A and B are shown apart, each in its own frame.
Chain A
Amino acid sequence: MDGHPSLLGETRHPTTRRVRQIWAIGGGKGGVGKSLLSSSLAISLSRTGHKVLAVDLDLGGANLHTTLGVDLPRQTLNDYFSERVSQISACVSPTSIPNLEFISGAQDSVSIANVPEAQKARFMNAIREVDADYVIFDLGAGTASHTLDFFLASDINLVTLLPEPTSIENGYRFLKSAYFRRLWLNPRLHGARQWIEIAMDAKNNEGIRSPSDLFRAATRDNPDLAAVMKAEIERFRPKLILNQVRTHSDIEIGFSVKTVCKKYFGIDMDYLGYLDYDSAVWQAIRRKRPVMLEFPNSKLVTSIDRLVDYLLKKHADQRSSIL
């Protein structure tokens, strides 16, 4: 057994761990609202009385601290990944918000932009035991393997997109990378790794471009394995949040993305909803204050609160699909 256990640190099931759930916010492109959404979800969640830890995993360009309205702390994840500090708790900083603490990403080191396997496992193992009910991962842009792994190792996989081609393109790329990575990591699919690796290489000569090509090749090769693959694919349930929506047709893009994902990847994406474009956001950012605190009456805040309620009510039992 390799793959999952190494990524997750150990095989102990998360239900026995201190942290109830990890929510990850990804989306491929920069500037689509990942940090804003992460900090807002964290603040909203902390107000429901749960103890929350927000973790900035944007290791190249950390700015979660800014959206939370706090200064960059001395200890960051960089110190943890480079083993300058041994305990993850040493990286935890307080915020001005009750029930909310955070861990800053490494802003100072370029070398850390690729986290060694052993450090990923060490981190994932430790993060499930921090003194918090919920952990929020603010992921970086791009499809670095650690970004994909932290996304996949989380219990709730949120993807945020803007209704514009650049964001949609990167969003699909992110989903595609996470999707193949997820299959690749699965020990039960080791027999299909060769095919998965071919599919991951976009320029391969085997004519395997899309998941359906991969699935067809796997079916031809080994039908039993293909059945496992199908079951694994169906367990992957990323959740879509459309951000900066301005018109009615923007909203519908979310439904189309869901349909495309179903047809292309064979996955059922949950379209959770959308956030209206709101000028309160940039105003708050300029003031380096969380929009949740700066504009408590904005529609955005209500929307975020609803999103949190919804996830707590409907997806409280969801576990990372790579477990």
Chain B
Amino acid sequence: MMFQGETNYYEILEIRPDASAQDVRNAYLRLKASFRKDNPALYSMLDPGEAEDMISKIEEAFQILSDPDARRDFDERNGFADRIERKIFAIDRAPPVSSAPPMDGGGDDMLVAPATDFEGMSTRGETTQTGISAFSLPTQAPREPGSFLDTLPKAEPPASPSTPVAMSSPGLVDRRTNAFGRREADRAPPTLANPQVDPVAAEVMGETEWRGPTLRRIRELRRYSLDDIASLTKISKNHLLAIEEEAFAKLPAPVFVRGFILQIARTLKIPPEPVAAAYLARLSKRPGA
């Protein structure tokens, strides 16, 4: 189904050969989500079998590229090692994005200039000759929603200094993103500046208690209103509110609550079982339970 017969792992993951380990991971997660068979974006284009094929290609690519030894081996065998060196050479034309302000640091469009230069550079064929798409592709879904154009493709956190050039393009978009004026209120907490593919991932890392307020915070990060969740899960708004406020007395029997939490967790894309188990454990300890 791929447009060209022969491809390489970088093309499959839509990243450049000098992508950082984090880029690789982000691309992997994003692509896997894209080819999930219930994704409406596949409708009429890919049948479930083709989507499965893509997923297995993506898995294979990730397995190699996420393993430093296997990746080095792959780079050497396929002539990517040279290319990566050439990229570093291009630094003076495209200053590393790490010198730019962090993504939440304001929306001065002037800052886009160096990265724009980079874009022009790649259009001139720096990367086309290698068979990689001339334009670097988005390596990540938007981490936080907001208004129009907050979601320019290639949304990506600021680069780590180790891979200056590859990251400068995504960085560009982040700053463009700001240039389009993400509203302050829509801005996610600073944790989102961490290179996480998912706005919530940083938030939930190490979370074990899964309290109501945590669920609310995740919901807000996901930019769902209570009404959204209610319509998506068919759970009444009162129950949702009671869950978030841990107003246990207003909740039905634990078996129902468990069902609610599982549904909410799935909708919020957090691990359903641990969340439900932790929440229910607290529920069972409530006074009078």
Residues of A in contact with B (beta carbons under 8 Å apart): 163-165, 168-169, 172-173, 210-212, 215-216, 234, 246-248, 251-260, 262-266, 268, 270-276, 299-300, 302-304, 306-307, 309-310, 313-314
What chain B residues lie within 8 Å of A262 (beta carbons)?
3, 14, 133, 137
Render B34-50 as a binary contact track against A, CB cut-off 8 A, 1 for contact. 11000111111110000
Stretch of B68-76, B140-148, B252-260 lying at the A interface: B140-148
- Asked whether A260 lies within 8 Å of B41 as measured between CB atoms, the reply is yes
List 5 interface pairs A-B (beta carbons < 8 Å), by A numbering.
A164-B40, A212-B3, A259-B34, A268-B134, A302-B148
Closest chain B CB from A225 CB (angstroms): 15
CB within 8 Å of A: which residues of B?
A: 1-5, 14, 30-31, 33-35, 39-46, 54, 109, 128, 133-135, 137-138, 141-142, 145, 147-153, 176, 179-181, 222-224, 228, 232
Beyond known contacts A251-B141, A256-B33, A258-B153: 7 more, CB 8 A cutoff = A215-B4, A248-B145, A252-B141, A253-B40, A258-B138, A274-B151, A275-B148
Residue of A nearest to B155 (CB): A255
Distance (whole angstroms) from the CB of A270 to the closest CB of chain B: 7
Contact of B138 among A165, A168, A271, A313 (CB under 8 A): A271
Q: Closest chain A residue to B42 by CB distance?
A: A260
Residues of A within 8 A of B142 (CB): 251-252, 255
B181 contacts which chain A residues (CB < 8 A)? 302, 306
* Most chain A C-beta atoms within 10 Å of own C-beta, residue among B41, B180, B228, B232: B41
Residues of chain A within 8 A (CB-CB) of B224 are 247-248
Among residues of B, the one whose C-beta sits closest to the C-beta of A165 is: B43
CA distance A306 to B182 in the complex (A): 11
The B contact surface, by secondary structure, is loop
Contact status B4-A173, CB under 8 Å? no
Tell me the minimal C-beta distance from A276 to chain B in angstroms.
Answer: 7
Q: Select from chain B the residue with minimum beta-carbon distance to A264.
A: B45
Could you tell me if B148 and A273 are in contact, using CB atoms closer than 8 angstroms? Answer: yes
- Measured between alpha carbons, how far is A11 from B167 in the docked complex, in Å? 40
A257 to B2, CA, bound (A): 15
A264-B1 in contact (CB<8A): yes
Asked if residues B137 and A306 are in contact (CB atoms below 8 Å), the reply is: no
Complex-state Cα separation, A259 to B33, whole angstroms: 11
User: Sorted from nearest, which 10 A-B pairs have the closest CB atoms?
Assistant: A303-B148, A256-B41, A266-B3, A273-B149, A256-B34, A169-B44, A271-B153, A306-B180, A259-B34, A165-B43
A313 CB contacts on chain B under 8 angstroms: 109
Decide yes or no: A310 and B176 within 8 Å by CB, A212-B4, A303-B147 being known contacts.
yes
Contacts of A299 in B (CB 8 A): 147
C-alpha gap A307/B224 in the complex (Å): 24
Contact of A251 among B3, B30, B34, B145 (CB under 8 A): B145
* B227 nearest CB across to chain A (Å): 10
Q: Are B149 and A303 in contact (CB under 8 A)?
A: yes
- Which of A215, A216, A273, A314 is the most central at the interface, judged by chain B CB atoms within 10 Å of its CB? A273
Known contacts A248-B222, A273-B152, A306-B147; decide if A168 and B43 are in contact (CB<8 Å).
yes
* Contact across chains for B4 and A271 when beta carbons are under 8 A apart: no
Q: A303 to chain B: which residues have CB within 8 Å? A: 147-149
